[in-house]
Structures are given as structure tokens and as C-alpha cells.
Amino acid sequence: MIPDYHIHSRLCRHAVGEAREYVETALARGLGEIGFADHCPYPAGFDPRYRMLPEELSVYRRIVDDVRCGFPRMRIRYALEVDWVPGRMGDVFAKIAGEPFDYLIGSVHHTDEFPFDNPEIEDRWREEGLADRVWLRYMDLVLEMVSSGRFNIIGHFDIPKKFGYFPSDKSAVREKMSGILDVAGKNGTALEINTSGLRKPVKEIYPSLEILRMARESGVSITFGSDAHAPGDVGMDFDRALALARAAGYRDYVLFERGRASIYPLPA
């Protein structure tokens, strides 16, 4: 089965289980490679409830090193899911500089208004006009993030749909998406097919088939991720993710080692 490149660890304070249990699930499901991509620590105590502390980065590295030693038959990548937050990225990149990451997933979980994917404040989505504002602002932030050229993979590209709220003007959002995908195609940022949306109210993979087709036309390569926050999530619904990739016309996917991309054919 295709590698799962989006696995969290208990260090982020909202995932459960030991790293070795995630690897055991991967082995049981026939995966030959996985990547831990836990939430990036932020300096200055920002958002500490949902992420490791800056001083825990060395603990994270040790957790990944330990499972690498414990499971020599599984290729295990060391990665991060980094939030794009304007004004803070200098600090964030300074903090992680020199870490031997295989890849960085860039994600947006906050607009300036609120952490829109947080289930504790899902109610706010019902506010008049909010869905339009969040979708449009979200796409502007993703464009900034992808244009920075600092990331290997775009995380859960259409995540504002998580609770089932869509923009009233889809064409404006689609236009922004298409601009982002053009930049990604040109600067070699891949797009992840993330199956966690199937476990959320929207019950859809991120991104949709329509967006994935646009991505392929823009020359954007793909990776696969379960966004596992529990051991049983690893490799979850990858048969459906694979079918979606094929339906969008993809024939191959990409893997990363120390930032270097290699292309592999999708399994038959």
C-alpha cells in the first residue's frame, strides 16, 4: 500500500497512542513507508494546547529515531506539519532550522478571524457571511504559503469544508485555488490526498475530485496521508484515496527523503 505521510504523535496533545503502535498498524496494513508529520511547535507560547512545546522538538526527534531503530523493515520519515501564520514564520523557521526533516507539510488551520477547523467553536460557522469570508481568506493564506516555496506538501487543501460549510460563490474560490495550484505546479509543491475528511462531518476526502483534476492539469504531484491522531487511523481509507487519484488521472505519486522528491507509479 502507498505510504502514509501524515501521522501525528501524542506530543501534540490531541493525538493518542505510542509511536510504535502507529508503526504496528502500518505494518499490519501492508505499508512499507510512513512519515510522522506532527504539528510544528510555535515559539512564544502561541496555541500551546494543540502542539508540542518548542523545547519538545528534541523529544519528537527521539520518538521518531526510536521507532526507526525498533522497526528496521519500515521506512520511517521525519517530518512536520507546519501552520502558516503570517508574521510568525520567521520565528518558526528559525526554531526548526537544522532539523533533518524529510519533508514539511504546510497547512492553514487559522484565518485571522478564528481557528476555523476547531470543533469546539464549530457553531461560529453559522454566522452570516462567515463561510464566504473564511474560504476566501483561507485561500489567500494558502497562496502566500505555497508561494514561499518553503514546503514540500500542501496539507488538506480544501479543509474549510470540514463541517460541511461551503462558500456561496464557488467560482471566486475556485479561481483562487487554480492560482495556488499553478504556483504549486511550477515550484514543485505536492498536494496531499488526506483521508481524514471522511472521518469528519463533511465525510469527504480532502481535496475533492474536481480540485484534484485541476491539480493534475497544473502539473502538481500528490502524496497520501491519513492525518492519523490514533494508531488505528494509519493508512485508513487509502483504497478510496487511490481510487480518487486514479479518477483524477494521476498515474504516479511522490515521496521525499531529506527534501528530495522521487516519483513512483501508483500501485495497480
Cβ closest to Zn ion, residue 51 vs residue 216: 51
The three cell numbers of residue 115 are: 481557528
- Find the binding residues for Zn ion in span 153-192 (CB under 5 A): 155
Measured from the CB of residue 107, what is the shortest distance to Zn ion in angstroms?
4
Does 194 bind Zn ion (CB under 5 A)? Our answer is no
Residue nearest Zn ion by beta-carbon distance: 107
CA-based end-to-end distance of the chain: 10
Which of these segments, 100-108, 170-178, 196-204, 254-262, binds Zn ion (CB under 5 A)? 100-108
Which of the ranges 64-72, 152-160, 202-210, 237-245 carries the binding residues for Zn ion, by CB under 5 A? Answer: 152-160
Min CB(155)–Zn ion separation in Å: 5
CA distances from 78 to 15, 66, 145, 148 (A): 17, 12, 21, 21
CB of 72 to Zn ion, least distance (A): 28
Alpha helices in the chain, H assignment, sequence order: 19-28, 57-70, 89-96, 130-147, 170-187, 209-217, 238-247
- Given a contact cutoff of 8 angstroms between Cβ atoms, the answer to whether 22 and 234 are in contact is yes
CB of 37 to Zn ion, least distance (A): 9
Q: Please name the helix (run of DSSP H) or strand (run of DSSP E) that holds residue 264, with its range, or none.
A: strand 260-265
# residues contacting Zn ion (CB under 5 A): 2
- Provide the minimum distance between the beta carbon of 249 and Zn ion in the complex, in angstroms, as a whole number: 26
Residue type, 123: D
Q: Which of 11, 51, 85, 107 binds Zn ion (CB under 5 A)?
A: 107
Taken in order 258, 63, 115, 88, is the CA torsion positive or negative? negative
47 vs 217 by CB, closer to Zn ion: 47
CA distance 233 to 196: 8
Stretch in the footprint of Zn ion (CB under 5 A) among 93-101, 105-113, 137-145, 177-185: 105-113
**Contact between residue 221 and residue 254 where contact means Cβ atoms under 8 Å apart:** yes
- CA nearest neighbour of 1 among 241, 197, 191: 241
CB of 136 to Zn ion, least distance (A): 20
Stretch that binds Zn ion, among 103-111, 204-212, 234-242, 247-255 (CB under 5 A): 103-111
Q: Which parts of this chain interact with Zn ion (CB under 5 A)?
A: 107, 155
